Amino acid sequence: MPDFKITGRRLFYPLVLHIIISLYLYLKEKTKSKRYSNLIKETNQQLITGICIIIFAALHIVNYSLGSVSDNADIFRTLSHIIVDNLLIVSIALHLRVSIPRLMISFGFLEGKNDYANAKSKINMFILVLLIIIFMAEAIFYIGGIL
């Protein structure tokens, strides 16, 4: 089993760098809000979901530091794990549904007139299917723990 303290430390610095760069770009794009209102709506969604990811990831770490679900947890701890984990997963999915198409534009993969809209709809569908699979797996895990 991997040491999550080491993994967490290695992921922390790139995450902080990502947050700093993203906040800089958010403030820079804010000045263009009148010309690109749709872009700013997506950027606001990225900012809000990014903040939610930080909050729910911290709550996730606190939840698991208090005890894992497999430790014969009471119903309130299990419910807390379910709620926090699902909100974290949804926040990440909503963040990625905007971030991935914009990343593809930045790297030059989407250059045609309708490429962005097509990629965005395909990515949205992929993330939706992935969410359904994750929620089903989580439901099976928790129901299996009850039985």
Helix (H) or strand (E) holding 71: none
Higher local confidence (pLDDT), 106 or 99: 99
Residue 1's pLDDT is: 38
Name every residue whose Cβ is closer than 8 Å to that of residue 122 and which is 6 or more positions away in sequence. none
Per the structure, the count of domains in the chain is: 1
- Give the model's confidence band at 4: pLDDT under 50 very low, under 70 low, under 90 confident, else very high: low
CA distance 30 to 54: 22
User: Which domain covers residue 97, as residue numbers?
Assistant: 4-146
| pTM (predicted TM-score) | 0.80
Residue 81 to residues 60, 64, 65, 67, 74, Cα–Cα distance (Å): 7, 8, 11, 10, 11
Higher local confidence (pLDDT), 100 or 26: 100
Tens digit of each residue's pLDDT (9 = 90 or more) over 11-70 = 778 888 888 888 887 777 766 655 556 667 888 888 899 999 999 988 988 888 877 776
Q: Are 29 and 43 in contact (CB under 8 A)?
A: yes
Tens digit of each residue's pLDDT (9 = 90 or more) over 77-99 = 888 888 999 999 999 999 999 99
Q: What is the mean pLDDT of residues 1-9?
A: 57
Tokens representing 48 are: 């809000």
Tokens representing 130 are: 């992935």
Q: Are 122 and 114 in contact (CB under 8 A)?
A: no
Q: What DSSP character marks residue 112?
A: S
